[in-house]
Structure formats: C-alpha cells, structure tokens
Structure 1
Amino acid sequence: MAPNDSAHIAEEDDLGTGRRRAARYAVPVAVIGVAAATIGLVPALAAAGDPSLPKISAQELIERIAASDTQRLSGSVRISTDLGLPSLAGLGDLAGGALAPKGGVGGGSSASTADPSTKLMELGSGTHTLRVAADGPDKQRVSILEDAAEYSLIHNGDDIWAYDSASNEAFHATSPEGTAKDKGTAKDKDKGKAKELSGKDVPATPREFAEQALAAAGDTTSVTVDGTARVAGREAYRLVLKPKQSGSTVESIKIAVDAKTGTPLKFTLAPSSGGKAVVDVGFTKVDFGKPAASTFDFAPPKGTKVTQGDEARRGDLAEPPKLPKGGEDAGKSAPPTVIGKGWSAVYAFTSPEGAPTGKDTAGLPKEAQGFLDALGDKVTGKFGSGTVYKTRLVNALMTDDGKVYVGAVTPDTLVKAADGAK
C-alpha cells in the first residue's frame, strides 16, 4: 500500500462550472497510444436488472455527455486489454533495453522503476484494478493495485509524483500547467518530462474514450440508445456506436452514461472478429463527492530513492535512443495520406529512409524479429508483396518496397488500399 493513501470521499459533490476534463492527469496511459491505451471490464450490472428510465434519443444523450462537467469523483476502475498480441515473455530485457532508450525513458543512470512512461506500459495487456480520485483540474490521483504492492501517480498543483511501493522508488516532476514563479530554473526544465507523465492526450477514463469515439462518429456511424444498465451501482443509459462501413475491425462501441450526471461510466469496444472485448474500461465503484484533501498529499517515505524530472531530461539529452538503421535520417518521413474515411480509413506513408521494410528487419534484435514474425503474414497484390502485422484492433501492412498502410481495418482492406494506391 502506497504511503499517504487516504480514505476516499467526504463531502457532497459540487459539480460547479470549473474547467472540463478533470481526469486529464489521472490515468496517463502510453498505450495506451497503444495508446493507450486499453482495456476489459467485468460488467457491474445489478442483480435486480436494468433500471426503468425515461426515454431519451441518441442525440439527447450525446448532448448530455457534452454538457456534463464532473470535476470531482473517486472510486475503482477495472481495466483489461486483449489486443491478441503474442506473449512478451520471450523478449527478456528487450522491452526495457534494446527497444527503449538506455536506462529507461529517462535515459542514463537516472532510470527509475517509478517512471510512469515505463510502469504504465503494464496497462497495455491483461486486467488491472485502479483506484482513482479527482478534485478539479489541479488534483488527481490514480493507484494501480497489485498483489503485494501499489503504484501511485499523484498530481497536486505544480507537482506530479509517481511512487512504486515494491521498489520504494519515486519520480518527481513539475506540472506542465504549473504556475511556478521560478521559470527558467531546474523546476521549469522538467516540464517536458511532466507532460509525458500527465498523459494529457492519452484516453484512459471512460469519459475520454467516449469523447474520442463520438468525435470520430459522423455520417459513417450508426448511433443508438440500447436500453439501460446499472454500472457501479448507478443508473445508466447504453449508447451504442456501430460502423456503417465494412472492413473495420470494430464491431461496436458501447458507452454506459450516468443518467444523473451524464458522465460515461463504462466503455467497451467489441471487435468484428468476435470474442471478448478488445478495450473495456469502467468503474466498479464511483462516488461524485469531494475527495478528502489528504488524498492528493504525498511525501516520499524515508529511504525512498527519488528521481527528479530534470535528471531524466539530462539523460535523454546525453544519450538519445538509437534506431535500428539509417541514423538520424531514419526518423524523417512525409506526413501520412488518408485513404478512405471513417472507420475504414487507412493511413499510408513511406517508411523513413534506411528503416526496415517488409522484407528487411535485419536491424532488429533477434528476439524482436521473432516477436514480429509471430504477428506477421506474407501477402501479395497489385502493389507487390509485403507483410501484414496483426492485432485484434489495429493492423499494418509493410510492403517490401518501403510503404506502410495502417488502420483499424481488416488485412483485406489494407491490401485493397495498397492496390488502389499503385
């Protein structure tokens, strides 16, 4: 159990009119990118059955989500992800070594097991239980509960702390939104690292997933209300999004929306291939009251190894990550073009000069090559030949002549896109 972890919730909720997106810093998930970034949840439906609620249209429910401004909450979130990836067990130290900057994201000797950019990668697979709390845009906390330990990420004003109780290590940085008066000092220098910690652009709560899905809806999506549910003891409406187009790996997205506050409580992405959800995130317990102020207090316990954000930054500058081939020019490529639209959109680009192609991944370590081989299938078409690398959500076609086609679409759709681009 992490230190300073307080009991939840005290005062009555005061939703107010504060700034939106209170949980921006609460659960940064680099998957997430991958996103990040991703997630199966045991549905918290009450045994008494679905609640009886007034009828509501899909448009009215979407407007209720947009109008909601929940600034305070606390509770438990259960996350699980099933992208259909092969086991990482055979990679050994590769994930933290050859495929990542030396010494972790921070680089050099400043690497810390508390660094969120490495620790939160664990959320990219399997099932995890989180304890979350938020009190406006300046105070958030998320804790990953483990068998005999706890990992906590705390944002309180200008400070962002991460603490790993298993190793007794902590990571500290200054919030990129901070208002510190000592700009230009070391405290200001680590804001870039703090931005990574914040996960500002990485969806991780049900609300953030829902907002991204709704933003991508448009005329390519069927949006309906499919009855009601009870989630974490709350009455909710079920909003369902389904692609109108063929070729997508997404069968449907279901969002449970709190009937009283308009806050998304649960997000489930089902794949067109069938089986369990690819991404499913939701509350198992939730309270919209004001968390106790001490929830967001943190002081490293005695003996804790503390890594400062500016130390990690110096490590990054001292030894940037090395690409397999091509040197500095390997990171340069033209912006991607978009083939198609909506759910069947494919992003096409030319791989950087010197980077591995579908027929040449010799620059990768042996373990990484084996991992990619487990994901890949050889394909041919008018475009020539290449390899499709598959997950249950996002697929990528890497051609032998250095073109790359990526999307949440089926392999056949990628091949058709590549053929049409010739």
Structure 2
Amino acid sequence: MAPYESDDSTTAAGIDTPRASRRKKAARYVVPVAVTGVAAVTIGLVPAIADSGSPDLPEISAQQLIQRIAESDTERLSGTVKITTDLGLPNLGGLESGLLSGAATPGDDGSGSAADPQTRLTELATGTHTLRVAVDGPDKQKLSLLEDAAEYSLIHNGKDVWGYDSQSNEVYHSTSAEGAEAEQDVPATPKDLAERALAAVDETTSVTVDGTAQVAGRDAYKLVVKPKQSGSTVGQISIAVDSETYTPLKFTLTPAGGGAAVVDAGFTQVSFDPPAASTFDFTPPEGAKVTEESDLPAAEPQQPKSEEDLAKGLDGLNVLGEGWNAIAVLDTGGQGIPSGTETGGAFGGFLDSLGSQVSGTFGKGTVFETRLINALITDDGKVYVGAVTQDALVKAADSGQ
C-alpha cells in the first residue's frame, strides 16, 4: 500500500478551535516529554514487538485513519505486553528512574511503601519489561509487572486502587475517586500515546499511512507521524492501528539519530473480549503490610493532569520556535552548572561526564543529552530544553531570548 498524506494536518480531527489550538500547543511541546515519562505511568501500559507480515487491507487515507482512531470506543481488552525504553541515560544504579519521575525511593527516609505505583513503575523507564494488562471500562483496570521471581500488580476497581508487591508482601491502597482518576490521566497505552501525538499534528508535521503489518496476530494499518523540519531529535512515530477496532496496538518512537527505538510499546497478545470480573478483585494477603495513601508523606506538587492544564502553565513560559523544534526557556536567575575545572576533584569529573561544555555568543554552558530530550544550562542560569539537537539549543541561546 502506498503512503497517503493526511487530507488536513491542522488537527487530528481537522478542526481548529481556540480550545483545540491551546491543547495542540501543549501537546506539541509535551509529546516527547510525555513519552520520556511513560515508564512512570500506572494503569494500562502496553508495549512493543516486531512487525510481521503485510496483510492486504482496503486503502485508507491518513485523515480517515486518524478520524477512526478518534471514534474508536474500545473499552474492554486484555493481553500480554512488553515495553522497551532506551533513553540513552547514564547508568546511575537505578537513580535515573527516580529522576525521571520525581519519585523518592521507598523507605529512603524510613517511610513510603514498596507497593506505591509512583515508585515501583518508574523502573519501566529503562530496559525491557513484560506486563499483563486487563481493562473493563473506565473503572476497572489491572496491570501486572512480571519479574524473575516476583510480581507487582496495580488494580483499579471503582474507587479503590490497590498496589501489591509480592516480593516484599506490601500493599498500597487508595480509596480516593480523585486519586483513581489521576492514576489513569497519563499517557499509558498505545492509544494514549497516539492521541497525544495526533493532538500535536500541525503544518510542521507529515502524517501518512505507510502500509500494513500484523501485531499480536491482528491485521493493522501503519500510521507514520514525523517532523517536516530538521533539527528535531524525533525521527518518526509509528502507530500500528487495528483494522477492525481502530485501537492503536503499537507505538514506536524512533530518534533522528538512528539506532533502537526510544520507546517501543505494543501488544504481544491481545483479546477484545471482556475480562473475567474476578480479574479486578483484590484482598490483601495474610500478613501483608498495608499502607494507605493518606499515611504516606505529602507528595511534591503533581504535574498538570491534562493538556489543557498544561497549556495554562505554558502561557507564561517562553517558548522559542514552533512545532517539533520548540524550545522552552527558563531563567533560574542563578548560577549554571559548575565545570570540573571549577569544582575540581571527583565531583567535578562526574559533572563533566554527564554533560558537555559548549560556548557561543551567549557565553558558556553545559549540555545534558538523552536520545530524545536535550537541555542547555548556561553559566548565567538560563535553561533551554526541547526535543532538539545540541546545535539548535546553542543557536537558541545565541539569540539572546
């Protein structure tokens, strides 16, 4: 099947209202950031496998496929999933996962719970993991992270959210309806990620249908979203869409620099039959330590819960450029990162190993890179961050904005 360009790249649904524009602005900036944080999510995370086969399916345009994704009403499914995340972070002994999520390590201050989802699921930020997923409408979801000799499960059933770590025999429990809602309001499944990406589609984006594939034994269309501009670290986003239910089955983000995908998330096995009701039942095992959410230390302020909330926050943020080349600028009003020559000793060498020194008409600074998100911190305390190359960050700093 030949690629088909989107008939209308204004929005995912071809409608551009003030509200849609504001949501699009937020989504455009946070798509790579949301993908980076995918490992810290809760209910419903689903991963990726290699494509196989090229089924013969009716031709469909990108705009038609996007519309059908938006109209898909799939609420019940179950399956086995994998996720591979490779951000190219330095090996910090697991600390990088906590840095991504902002979560503390359980018990690092004598409190917390090994079953708290905000700490346990951050390990998905790196490596390859196998999960089992079950969903039965908006009020019943279960995710189980399978390990060598243990299992971590997160269950949402009505107003109850349970987390259970079999290795430590610890249980986390929340009965807050608001808390349960927050657990789900993150980019988790391929559908969540696809919707975030498609909401960011604008004139700087190419959207095509690039053939077909089989994912988890199901025929699927391949939707490809990629920047038209140069300078972005995002190469392309590929979304495998089920040809019957139009549910995204696989989400793959490939960096412009080549190599393995940064995030490869998709089903290895899937069923759209309703899961058994007992799947979502949970009773704490005998002898388990149960921690109520209300017993945990007060958390740091949470990130915005929606693109609209994020858009409000972005109103006061200085953003240079547009589309995939957008760069956020923050002025800390303080000092930048000291170099190894300034600090000396092992600590200075450690800082230099994490970043690279750059200079320009703006002065000097340090660039910290992953395979997707890069940041430049200047010596006078300005921060430039985006899914762009080092050269683009230096050029933005040289602009003096």
Same fold flag (TM > 0.5): yes
Structure 1 residue 371, shift from structure 2 partner: 5.8
CA RMSD for the aligned pairs? 3.0
Tell me which amino acid in the other structure corresponds to 1:81: T
SS of 2:37's equivalent in the other structure is coil
Relative to its length, the structure with more helix (as a share) is 2
Q: Which residue of 1 aligns with 2:382?
A: 403
Q: Give SS of 1:61's match.
A: helix
Q: Which residue of 1 is the match for residue 222 of structure 2?
A: 238
TM-score, normalised on structure 1? 0.76
Match of 1:121 in 2: 122
- Correspondence for 2:361: 382
Counterpart mapping for 1:261-276 below 5 A? 261-276=245-260
* Distance change (3 Å), C-alpha of 1:226 and 1:266: same
1:77 aligns with 2:58: no
SS in 2 for 1:89: coil
Is residue 45 from structure 1 mapped to residue 74 from structure 2 by the alignment? no
Listed one character per residue, the Cα deviations across residues 66-98 of structure 1 (whole Å, up to 9, x for unaligned) are 010111000011101111111122969x959xx
| Secondary structure of 2:187's aligned partner | coil
Name the CA distance, whole Å, in 2 between partners of 1:421 and 1:121: 36
Runs of 4+ residues over 6 Å off in structure 1: 366-370
| C-alpha distance in 2 between matches for 1:102 and 1:232 | 35
How big is the shift at 1:199?
A: 4.7
Q: Retained in 2: the 8 A contact 1:144–1:152?
A: yes
Residues 1:336 and 1:33: Cα distance change in structure 2 (over 3 Å): farther
Residues 23-422 of structure 1: pairs in structure 2 closer than 5 A: 34-37=36-39, 43-46=49-52, 49-89=53-93, 101=104, 109-177=110-178, 191=179, 198-200=183-185, 202-312=186-296, 315-316=297-298, 335-351=316-332, 353=333, 357-359=336-338, 372-422=351-401
Q: What per-residue deviation string (whole Å, max 9, x for no partner) do you get for residues 281-324 of structure 1?
A: 00001101100000000001001001101100xx228xx79xxx
C-alpha distance in structure 2 between counterparts of 1:61 and 1:226, whole Å: 12
The answer (yes or no) to whether the contact 1:388–1:397 under 8 Å persists in 2 is yes
Q: Distance in 1 between matches of 2:38 and 2:346?
A: 23
- The TM-score, its normalising length taken from structure 2, stands at 0.80
Report SS of the residue matched to 2:196: helix
How many equivalent pairs are there? 349
> Is residue 164–residue 171 contact of structure 2 (8 Å, CA) maintained in 1?
yes
The question of whether the paired residues in 2 share the 8 Å contact of 1:91 and 1:368 is answered with no
Post-superposition Cα deviations, 1:137-188, rounded to whole Å, max 9, x if no partner, equal: 00000000101110000000010000000110010012434xxxxxxxxxxx
Letter in 1 for 2:370: T
Residues 221-276 of structure 1: per-residue CA shift (max 9 Å, x gap): 11110100000011000000110011000111100000001100000011111101
Report the Cα distance in structure 1 between the residues aligned to 2:184 and 2:48, rounded to whole angstroms: 25
* Cα 1:103–1:282 shift into 2, 3 Å: closer
Classify 1:103/1:64 alpha carbon distance in 2 versus 1 (closer, same or farther; 3 Å).
closer
CA contact (8 A) 2:35 2:193 kept: no
TM-superposed CA distance for 1:32, in Å, is 6.3
Q: Secondary structure at the match of 1:389?
A: strand
1:264–1:371: structure 2 CA closer, same or farther, 3 Å change rule? farther
Give 5+ residue unaligned stretches, structure 1. Answer: 1-30, 178-190, 322-332
Q: CA deviation at 1:45?
A: 3.5
Q: Tell me by how many angstroms 1:111 deviates.
A: 1.1
Counterpart contact for 1:405–1:418, Cα < 8 Å: yes
Three-state SS of the structure 2 residue aligned to 1:36 is: helix
1:36 counterpart letter in structure 2: V
Closer/same/farther in 2, CA of residues 156 and 40 from structure 1, 3 Å limit:
closer
Are the structure 2 counterparts of residues 103 and 265 from structure 1 closer, same or farther at C-alpha, using a change threshold of 3 Å? closer
Query: Residue 212 of structure 2 aligns to a residue in which SS?
Result: strand
Q: 1:95 to 1:68 in 2, by over 3 A?
A: closer
* Alignment CA distance shift 1:384-1:205 (3 Å): same
- Inter-CA distance 57–95: structure 2 relative to 1 (3 Å threshold): closer
AA partner of residue 341 (structure 1): E
Residues 293 and 103 (structure 1), Cα distance of their counterparts in 2 relative to 1, 3 Å cut: closer
Q: In 1, distance between residues paired with 2:347 and 2:174?
A: 32
Shift of 1:373: 3.4
Structure 2: distance between partners of 1:296 and 1:303? 21
Q: Answer yes or no: is the 8 Å Cα contact 2:152–2:164 preserved in 1.
A: yes
Once the two structures are superposed, residues 359-409 of structure 1 have per-residue CA deviations (whole angstroms, 9 ceiling, x without a partner) of 379xx9x99876653330100011111000000000000000000000000
Alignment CA distance shift 1:150-1:367 (3 Å): farther
* Letter paired with 1:411: Q
Question: Within 1, Cα distance between the matches of 2:357 and 2:195?
Answer: 36
Letter in 2 for 1:136: G
For residues 237 and 95 of structure 1, what CA distance do their matches in structure 2 show?
36
Structure 2 CA distance for aligned equivalents of residues 293 and 103 of structure 1? 31
Give the Cα–Cα distance (whole angstroms) in 1 for the partners of residues 215 and 94 of structure 2.
38
Partner of 1:329: none
